[in-house]
Amino acid sequence: MAREIATEMKGMDGPLLPILHAFVQRFGHITSDAIILIADVLNLTRADVQGVVSFYHDFRTTPAGRYVVKLCRAEACQSMGSEELASNLEQALGIKFGETTSDGRVTLEAVYCLGNCALSPAVLVNNQLRGRADETKILDMVASGLVGAGQP
């Protein structure tokens, strides 16, 4: 399956990032086996692929929680209290940014701008965008099961 994805996409111009995105979408994260496989298909060194994986925030190497909460921590959201919201969320979920709750439900991540800067604070939960976000709205989103999973 993994090899098929990589082989099918190898003819693209600049195939590595699209393949890595496809792997994250399909398998949830990039394993060390995947790095070896992709390097083999694209005729790159393992270091080449590893270097790209480690450079970009999106290419996670460990599984994420069922809900990935990406809270914007950039300036526009800061002006509307996102830093206080950030620490409240850490407290409510019992994790720091970059971590996943022990039950595997929620991963909390910082993101720098979601392009919703006139309706700050902004948050993206499994690709569902919310404006004027607060702790209650976000915790409801990860509790309700109303938000579907999936990456772009």
Interaction residues for another protein, span 21-60 (CB under 8 A): 21, 51-52, 55-59
| Other beta carbons less than 10 A from residue 84's beta carbon | 12
Computed over its alpha carbons, how large is the radius of gyration of the chain?
A: 17
CB of 147 to another protein, least distance (A): 12
Q: Which stretch binds another protein (CB under 8 A): 29-37, 61-69, 91-99, 108-116?
A: 108-116
Nearer to another protein, 65 or 73 (CB): 73
Q: Which of 7, 79, 87, 91 binds another protein (CB under 8 A)?
A: 79
The count of other CB atoms within 10 Å of the CB of residue 126 is 18
Establish if 122 lies at the interface with another protein (CB under 8 A).
Answer: yes
**Distance set, CA 69 to CA 40, 43, 87 (Å):** 34, 35, 14
Determine if 8 is a binding residue for another protein (CB under 8 A).
no
Q: What angle do CA 81, 86, 90 make, to 5 degrees?
A: 155
Q: Do 63 and 146 meet the contact criterion of CB atoms below 8 Å apart?
A: no
Binding site for another protein (CB under 8 A): 12-18, 20-21, 51-52, 55-59, 70, 72, 74-80, 111-120, 122, 124, 127, 129-132, 152
